[in-house]
Structures are given as structure tokens and as C-alpha cells.
Amino acid sequence: MKYILGNWKANKNFTEMKQWIYTFQREYRANENVTLGVFPPLLFISYVQGKLKDCKNVFVGSQTISSFEKGSYTGDVTATTLEGVAHYSIIGHSERRKIFGETDEQLAEKVKQALAHGITPVYCVRDEKDPIPEGVKFVAYEPVAAIGTGQNEPPEQTVAMKKKMKLPNDVVFIYGGSVNEKNASDYFATGEIDGFLIGKACLDPEQFISIARAAQ
């Protein structure tokens, strides 16, 4: 199975989100070997999930998750709230680490919360030095220099990093950083990369779908 995950980050208003769904529903054709994940802003998750629930092999996820179970944590969105709606949660994206100061300890708590509520953590690491919490089965390697810069990492380098990480065989390894419809197939050609975490290119549903086609 290949995984094509699209992180919208803090983009799109309600109207733009509805346009994205409309185009996606029109263009999407399911393929049994490819799973898609859509990560809209938290407010839209439930709406998007409702609209896409009949699209085969398409799941919705959150871009982050609380490290707490529930309670007096104003503004946080917990796994308790997301359970049954979000299938995945991105945890440890470098923007969360850098801009919001999230620590390895907090990220490990987030992983525990997600797992306890049936949400699959998509755990982001910047290189082989970022520790991966127990129970993680999905690792997104995202070199900081490649995120949002248009300078994707050459696939040979990504494969070399995967080797350095020495991940167990049952862990899904995906790459993120300036993936687009032109460079996607170069990664699959290595036979070592299970998919992508995509930022900018997934904001356009047609580009998102054409990257998914490269995975078939």
C-alpha cells in the first residue's frame, strides 16, 4: 500500500474548502493500492469527513492533537474529541516543534493519546536524531530544508536516511518536503518509499490526485 497524505496547514476558508471537495469528488478514482489522507484545518475535519466518507481509501486526519486526555485545556483539541472522526493525526511536524515549541516529551504524550483513541499517529522526524516514540508505525521523514522551499531532497538521499534510521520492517516510511506531481515518481522508483506527506501541492485537488496516480 502507498500513502499520499495532504497537510493543508493553516490554509483555506470555508468556501475554498468546499471548492476543494467539489473538485476532488469529481476527479478522484480509487485505486486499491493507494490510500489518501486529507488533513484540513481542525475546524473543517468533521465536515470534510462527512463529505468524503463514501470515497474509497480516503481518510481524514488532524494536523496536531492535544497531549491531554480531556478537561480544562482551553483551545486544545483532544483525541477524545477526534475519536471516530479523524483516522490519522500528524504529530511532531517541524512547524509545531519550531513555532509552537513542542518537545519530544509532549510529542510522546500526543502519540499515547492518539493510540489510546484509535487514531494512527503520523510521526514526523527531521532526521535520524529525533527519537520516535513507542507504538509509532508511520514515520514521515521531513528534512527542514526541503519543506515549503521547492527544493525537494534527492530520492537517493532520502533512501540513505531511511537506512540510517534502522526502522523496524512493519513501519511505513513516507517522505515530505516539496513533493509535487513532477518529482513524485522518482521516489517510488527507489522501491524504498511508501508515500508522501505533502504541503503546498495538496492545496490543489488536481495536483493531489495526480501525485496519488504516480503511486499506482
Q: How far apart are CA 67 and CA 73, in angstroms?
A: 10
Which range of residues in 31-39, 42-50, 110-118, 171-179 is near ligand PGA by CB under 6 A? 171-179
For residue 122, count CB atoms less than 10 angstroms from its CB and return exposed for 0-12, middle for 13-18, buried for 19 or more.
Answer: buried
Q: How far is the CB of 84 from ligand PGA (least distance, A)?
A: 25
Nearer to ligand PGA, 119 or 179 (CB): 179
197 scored as a contact of ligand PGA (CB under 6 A)? yes
Question: How far lies 52's CA from each of 25, 29, 47, 90, in Å?
Answer: 8, 12, 9, 19
117 is catalytic: no
Point out the catalytic residue in the list 93, 95, 117, 153.
93
Which range of residues in 60-68, 72-80, 103-111, 194-202 is near ligand PGA by CB under 6 A? 194-202
Point out the catalytic residue in the list 87, 102, 117, 142.
142
Q: How far apart are CA 195 and CA 145, in angstroms?
A: 19
Tell me the per-residue interface mask from 2 to 21 with ligand PGA, x by CB under 6 A, - otherwise: -----x--------------
199 scored as a contact of ligand PGA (CB under 6 A)? yes
176's grid cell: 515530505
CA-atom Rg of the chain in angstroms: 16
Q: How far is the CB of 73 from ligand PGA (least distance, A)?
A: 25
Q: CB-hemisphere CA count at 13 Å for 212?
A: 26
Among 102, 142, 153, 194, binds ligand PGA (CB under 6 A): 142
Among 178, 184, 209, 214, binds ligand PGA (CB under 6 A): 178
70's grid cell: 480531556
93 is catalytic: yes
- Listed in sequence order, the residues at least 6 apart from 114 whose beta carbon sits closer than 8 Å to its beta carbon are 65, 79, 89, 91, 120, 121
Nearer to ligand PGA, 132 or 197 (CB): 197
- Contact by Cβ (8 Å): 36, 29: no
32's grid cell: 486499491
Return residues touching ligand PGA (CB under 6 A): 7, 142, 147-148, 176-179, 197-201
- Enumerate the active-site residues: 93, 142
